[in-house]
Amino acid sequence: MKIPFSKYHGCGNDFVLVRETDVIGADASALAVAMCERHCGVGADGLIVVRTDPLEMVYYNQDGSRAPMCGNGIRCFSLFCKDEGIVEADRFDVVTLAGTKTVDALPDGRFRVDMQKPQFETALCGIEAPIWDVEVLGLRLYTLFMSTIHTVVFVEDAFMDIESIGRALCEHPLFHAQTNVNFVQIVDDETIKVQTYERGCGVTLACGTGVCASAYVAHREKGCAPSLHVLMKKGALDIQILADDTIVMQGPAKKIAKGEYYDD
């Protein structure tokens, strides 16, 4: 089976994108594992299946698990839809498991996404009691639902080696569905650095929903400005927190490759 695919990245967070019509009958979860594998597949942090009626982003982590949505992924999805002529308007809605997101294609080639408001219900976060300014493994944790489950940790060096502690926090028994862990360094009132350990993926170069969660907690708990420039290892995003707590993300997406994947 030959599967047409495209590969995109947002600030280093990379994705394989396929049209749903090209993978009819395939096990999308298994396909995600195969295509995202770095040595014998295309290689990516996740697989995005593009539905067009209605326009929907169906997202799978590289381990085959389904995720509600992905912040960097939705910008890559949006650029794919523009590149492929699926969308012609500069403002459009994208259906996700985390709700419908409104996307604006900007004149400079970037995309602005209304990420809506953070939520704090324990059921959404996969926890039994609030984890907000709670010490776990010697670190203060802040957990919320920002289109998916996120935990924020403030550190002196966000770009340190987070593999071990990230996994330990992600898989901690407190989090029944695991959690994405964001290590945040405050540079100044308007700038932060973020590195994320993602459930179902591990350490990634960028995480859009994690950046949104990190900016919100930095603003609420550390007095940072409501408009933040967020630095990651391979790029940056601009996050704006509105008066009603709505979070708006603005950033790039880039096409890397296009080809055919041979599914045995």
pLDDT tens for 218-251 read 999 999 999 999 999 999 999 999 999 999 999 9
Task: Using CB atoms within 10 Å of the CB of residue 249, give its burial: 0 to 12 exposed, 13 to 18 middle, 19+ buried.
Answer: buried
Tell me if residue 76 is catalytic.
no
- Per-residue pLDDT tens digits for 130-182: 999 999 999 999 999 999 999 999 999 999 999 999 999 999 999 999 999 99
Among 67, 56, 146, which residue's Cα sits nearest to residue 93? Answer: 56
139 CA to centre of own chain: 23
Tell me if residue 70 is catalytic.
yes
The one-letter code for the residue type at 156 is E
Q: Using DSSP, state whether 20 is helix, strand or coil.
A: helix
* Furthest C-alpha separation in the chain: 54
* Active-site residue (options: 11, 36, 70, 76): 70
* Active-site residue (options: 36, 81, 201, 207): 207
Reading the block at residue 32, the tokens are 């995600």
Give the span between the Cα atoms of 254 and 99, in whole angstroms.
24
Question: Under a CB-based contact definition with an 8 Å cutoff, are residues 47 and 66 in contact?
Answer: no
User: pTM score, two decimals?
Assistant: 0.95
